[in-house]
A and B are shown apart, each in its own frame.
Chain A
Amino acid sequence: MNGSLSQNGGVSVEVRGLRRSFGAQEVLKGIDFTVKPGEVFVIMGPSGSGKSVLLRHIIGLEEPQAGEILINGKPIGSPEVMDNYRMAMVFQSGALLNSLTVGENVGLYLAEHGLKSPDEISQIVAEKLEAVGLKGTENKMPSELSGGMKKRVAIARALVIEPQLILYDEPTSELDPLSAVVIGEEIRDLNDRIHVTSLVVSHDRDLAFGVADRIAVINEGRIIAMGTPDEVKGNPDPLIRKFLHADFKRLNES
């Protein structure tokens, strides 16, 4: 999250005993997991299970009420983490600034921190947009883009930071299957090219099993299973089986 752009390679993420309540409702009930550097870690679970709240804690948008989050062994929010590691988040809606053009959105981090000259920023923006298949869209406004394009712009904006950790919040929600595959390939491709640690929150089973090195399944604020895609697929827990194999036919039968 700093402006030095000095270190490369993914970081490790450790979440220990994380708890969070909103009023009387306990959303996270003691979450524990570790993500290794350069890993694609997918957190799956039904809507309302606390996935997005968990992600907001990891990026530092929420303060934990109990437990801790460590980035390369150092607490999130500490000056060491803020100064030494770069993290980015791709929001569910893309969260592009609607008053700025696509190019200004993608180059915002560099421009606001004064890290590059305007010419260099234009060049980097063009490169990052090309990398996500949106060459030549710099002057468009976010309102002119489809949902999938907005998400790809959000990924380009995250890439400008040269992140060591990217968090994706429901990256394929509201997308058609083809766009979802493009986004999934993008996540995997980034991981292969720049070895960034990727933490993906999703209820999209195809995406999870397509991109994940490891998967955690969260339900009602607790992680109920964790492992490789094959281990999770083979988990006998009825809740997990119901979630992984839910389809219209089964619902009709039951």
Chain B
Amino acid sequence: MFENIGEMVVLFWRTLMAVPLAWRQRQKVFDQFFEIGNASLLMVCILSFFIGGVIALQTGPILVERGLASAVGGLVGISTCKELAPVMMSILIAGRIGSAMAAEIGSMRVYQEIDALRTMNINPIHYLVLPRMLAMAIALPLLVIFSILVSWLGGAMVSAANNRIDISFPAFFMNLREVVDLADVGNGLFKSFCFALVIGVVSCHQGLVTRGGPRGIGRSVTKAVVNSIVLIVLFDYILTRLLLK
């Protein structure tokens, strides 16, 4: 385990050192960015709408019964933007994109494509890891912004449609605006940026250390997703504690 952590730290550092070369890899960054967005947007939309809706449904009736109807919008707003959108979207992306990254790089490793790159003096970190990390670091926060907005919409629609909550759209968003400020959204985006780096490093590392044939690739994919999720939850706690006002 410690060997893996050490290798991931080294991989992250080498990728960081390669960032000045990013402009040369811009087409690959764009391709990866499109892949992440294209593959995830619909899922993000569905997931976020129902996350917002279910929080409103779980908390709304209880708050309304206690005369706290004005708190529903704020509760949905703050919980989705600071916690649920960044974490849930990161887990979704780890499963959807991290697994694909580990599988692609892993299969390149197994079928000697990475060796072929090295014999052409093409650094696999510059060619494979850097574009994926950059695309992930840009795409995940953008998906989280989208997720926050859709989850707010889901919460507002459920609050308006459910008889036991019955809060109008304007009232929901007015309350949300009173509780949530830009710093809260920034907090969620910063977390999602960190989670993007975690997913990128873990998935690319698992791909690069793949051994064996198809079974090895399958093992790497599983490890990439599971390790990413564990680290996302771990980093979530650490970052939440550090960013606590």
Write the residues of chain A forming the contact surface with B, with a CB cutoff of 8 angstroms. Answer: 1-3, 56, 59-61, 82, 87-89, 91-93, 95-99, 108-109, 112-114, 157, 161
Contact = CB atoms under 8 A, between A and B. Distances in A.
Contact of B115 (A2, A61, A161): A61
Nearest to B120: A109
Contacts, number: 52
Contact of A1 (B108, B113, B116, B119): B119
B127 interface: yes
B191 to A, nearest CB: 32
A116 to B, nearest CB: 14
Contact of A88 (B104, B111, B119, B127): B119
Contact of A108 (B24, B115, B118, B122): B122
B210 to A, nearest CB: 15
Given A97-B108, A114-B24, A82 B115 contact: no
Contacts of A88: 119-120
Interface in B101-115: 104, 107-108, 111-113, 115
A93 B120 contact: no
Contact of B116 (A2, A60, A87, A91): A91
B121 interface: yes
Given A97-B108, A112-B127, A114-B24, A91 B121 contact: no
A88 B121 CA distance: 10
B169 to A, nearest CB: 46
Interface residues of B, number: 16
B115 A1 contact: no
Contacts of A113: 121-122
Contacts of A59: 119
Contacts of B117: 97
Nearest to A61: B115
Contacts of A1: 119-121
B111 A93 contact: yes
Contacts of B108: 97
13 contacts: A59-B119, A61-B115, A87-B119, A88-B120, A91-B112, A95-B111, A95-B115, A97-B113, A98-B107, A98-B111, A109-B120, A109-B121, A112-B127
Given A97-B108, A112-B127, A91 B122 contact: no
Contacts of B118: 60-61
A2 B113 contact: no
Contacts of B24: 114
Contacts of A157: 120
B127 to A, nearest CB: 7
A56 B114 CA distance: 13
A99 B122 CA distance: 16
Contacts of A93: 111-112
A95 B121 contact: no
Given A112-B127, A114-B24, A91 B120 contact: no
Contacts of B112: 91-93, 95
B115 A112 contact: no
A242 to B, nearest CB: 31
A89 B113 contact: no
A168 to B, nearest CB: 12
A56 B113 CA distance: 14
Nearest to A2: B121
A98 B121 CA distance: 19
Contact of A89 (B104, B107, B119): B119
A97 to B, nearest CB: 5
Contacts of A109: 120-122
A161 B120 contact: yes
A170 to B, nearest CB: 12
A98 B113 contact: yes
B122 A112 contact: yes
Contacts of B104: 99
